[in-house]
Structure 1
Amino acid sequence: MRRIKTMVLWLALTLLYATGHTQQVSNYDFHGAEATLNAYKALYILNQSDDKKIRAVVRNINNALEDPRLKGKLQVELIAFGDGVEIYRKSNRYDTLLMGLKSKGVLLAQCENTLRERKISKDELWPFVSYVPSGNGEIIIRQYEGWAVVHP
């Protein structure tokens, strides 16, 4: 008897929740999150050399910078390490994309560990690139500083 009562109660609660939940969803007009803070910070990670991936990361950054909720409130850093170093090599001709980001205030950073391990000279990279001791260290520090970490 007790088991039947428990099952009936569970069924009644399930139906009550499902009915109320369905009604809430249909009446709810969702417009996305509101940007209520004065400033936001995002660290974009690039550790791949694929051209499509590089262009997608740049497009993602530009989309975030153009989001009307974040416009004028967003600080962005792009950290490259590992295979991501290819975005900053002069030989790969991403300078137009990078200058577009730089003109919007994006910090362009490269991991020095990658350069040392791969024996890449800073002369092979664009002169407007900044350097950090390690990409992973940059991610850890930025995350603890409250930056959103984005790895598209």
Structure 2
Amino acid sequence: MYRVIVQVKDLDKAPQSIKSVINLYNDLKDVQIEVVFHQSAIRSLVKDSPLENSIMDLINKGIVVVGCMNSINSLNIDSNSLISGIKIVQSGVGEVVRKQSEGWIYLSL
């Protein structure tokens, strides 16, 4: 089984990043994927964002979607406004480093 940690940090690139994650999921089949959103991309995880349906599609496929609390705080986002099912970590970059230390394959999209 593949284990892949994906870092998404740029809101403008988030739609294509999500498509790439779906392509990865469809291609590999036997894969565990975690997608970490931080910096401006954290705005993708807010309810009623243009990407809400795409984020829900990731979650419904069993892909773990993670939001960075540091980014949430720095952009003054109310954590209660996030899409249901999102995992929150204190630091998105810290989560990426932890997963890499556990042998996860790293992708930056």
- State the TM-score, normalized to the length of structure 1: 0.68
Give the distance between the partners of 1:101 and 1:49, measured in 2 at CA.
17
Per-residue deviation at 1:98? 1.2
Quick check: 1:65 aligned with 2:25?
yes
Would you tell me which structure has more strand in proportion to its own residues?
2
Structure 1 residue aligned with 2:42, among 85, 94, 98?
Answer: 85
Structure 2 residue aligned with 1:130, among 84, 87, 90?
Answer: 87
Q: Which has the larger radius of gyration?
A: 1
Root-mean-square deviation (CA, aligned residues, Å) is 1.1
Q: For residue 121 of structure 1, what is the aligned residue in structure 2?
A: 78
Would you tell me which structure has more helix in proportion to its own residues?
1
Structure 1 residue aligned with 2:9, among 44, 47, 51?
Answer: 47
Per-residue deviation at 1:145? 0.5
Q: Which amino acid aligns with 2:2?
A: Y
Per-residue deviation at 1:119? 2.0
Give the distance between the partners of 1:119 and 1:59, measured in 2 at CA.
27
Q: Which runs of 5+ in 1 are unaligned?
A: 1-38
1:5-52 per-position Cα deviation (integer Å, ceiling 9, x unaligned): xxxxxxxxxxxxxxxxxxxxxxxxxxxxxxxxxx111111111111xx
Give the distance between the partners of 1:131 and 1:101, measured in 2 at CA.
16
Task: Provide the secondary structure at the position in 1 that maps to 2:59.
Answer: helix
| 1:130-149 paired onto structure 2 within 5 Å | 130-149=87-106
1:89-110 per-position Cα deviation (integer Å, ceiling 9, x unaligned): 1242312111111111100100
Contact 2:4/2:31, CA 8 A, preserved across alignment: yes
Give the distance between the partners of 2:77 and 2:43, measured in 1 at CA.
11
Give the distance between the partners of 1:49 and 1:65, measured in 2 at CA.
21
How many residues are paired up? 109
Q: Which runs of 5+ in 2 are unaligned?
A: none
Query: Quick one: percent identity of the two aligned structures?
Result: 25
Q: Which has the higher contact order (CA 8 A, sep 6+)?
A: 2
- State the TM-score, normalized to the length of structure 2: 0.93
Give the distance between the partners of 2:85 and 2:71, measured in 1 at CA.
18
